[in-house]
């Protein structure tokens, strides 16, 4: 996967260089480090059978919910203060994302997204149609946390204010770490997804 991501970024870099106008200097392009792309969590190479990676969750009813990685992307976009409409772009940032979805599409998709700027890395968690939540990658909420009998390290907790009556079905709580991705997602009204060990 790391090879594929680097190849995509190299191709994007080349396309930026070849599409630059003659009067513009080559843009400075921000690239990911291997540590940066580890935040995507679901980037393991596809199995030899060619089928997408499978991630299993358990829901509040105790049923197994099968998620698969449906999208993995990386591209460049204009840096702060620039747009694609600008004649000359001096800075290009890098963005990448990994999306997993319930194969039945009954549960919302989950995604991790990273944006790399020259001096900054933004990490965001997305729950399809329900919200995007930025985490501070340097500051996990819990150094160690036991969830459903398993202990996870460097866990980020995102808690969204609301109540079970007015916000039923909306995201209540997300537990995430760099190694396992989404560990648990709770929704107002009692539903949840729990990562299987």
Q: How many independent structural domains does the chain possess?
A: 1
pLDDT digits 0-9 by tens, 108-141: 999 999 999 999 999 999 999 999 999 999 999 9
Give the predicted TM-score (pTM) of the model.
0.82
Range of the domain at 48: 2-195
Work out the average pLDDT over 87-94: 87
E-only strand ranges, 49-149? 54-59, 64-78, 91-102, 110-117, 120-127, 131-135, 142-147
Least confident of 1-10, 22-31, 94-103, 137-146: 1-10
**Can you tell me the distance from the alpha carbon of 112 to that of 129, in angstroms, rounded to the nearest whole number?**
14
Q: Give pLDDT, residue 196.
A: 92
Integer-rounded Cα Rg, in Å, for the chain is 19
Ramachandran assignment for 148, one of left (phi > 0), alpha (psi -120 to 50 degrees), beta (any other) = left
The torsion angles phi and psi of 35, rounded to 5 degrees, stand at -65, -40
Asked if the model's pLDDT at residue 88 lies above 80, the reply is: yes
Q: Hunting for tokens 């991630």 — which residue is that? A: 55
pLDDT surpassing 70 at residue 55: yes
Separation in Å, CA 162 to CA 124, 157, 183, 191 = 21, 16, 21, 14
């Amino acid at each position: 996967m790391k090879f594929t991501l680097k190849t995509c970024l190299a191709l994007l870099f080349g396309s930026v260089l070849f599409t630059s106008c003659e009067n513009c200097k080559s843009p400075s392009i921000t690239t990911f480090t291997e540590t940066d792309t580890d935040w995507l969590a679901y980037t393991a190479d596809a199995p030899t059978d060619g089928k997408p990676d499978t991630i299993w969750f358990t829901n509040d009813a105790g049923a197994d919910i099968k998620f698969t990685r449906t999208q993995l992307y990386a591209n460049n976009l204009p840096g702060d203060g620039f747009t694609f409409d600008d004649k000359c772009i001096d800075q290009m940032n890098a963005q990448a994302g990994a999306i997993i979805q319930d194969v039945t599409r009954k549960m919302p998709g989950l995604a991790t997204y990273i944006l790399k700027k020259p001096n900054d890395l933004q990490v965001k968690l997305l729950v399809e149609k329900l919200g995007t939540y930025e985490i501070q990658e340097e500051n996990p909420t819990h150094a160690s946390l036991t969830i459903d009998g398993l202990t996870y390290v460097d866990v980020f907790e995102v808690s969204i204010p609301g109540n079970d009556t007015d916000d039923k079905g909306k995201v209540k709580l997300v537990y995430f770490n760099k190694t396992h991705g989404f560990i648990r997602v709770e929704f107002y009204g009692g539903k949840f997804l729990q990562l299987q060990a």
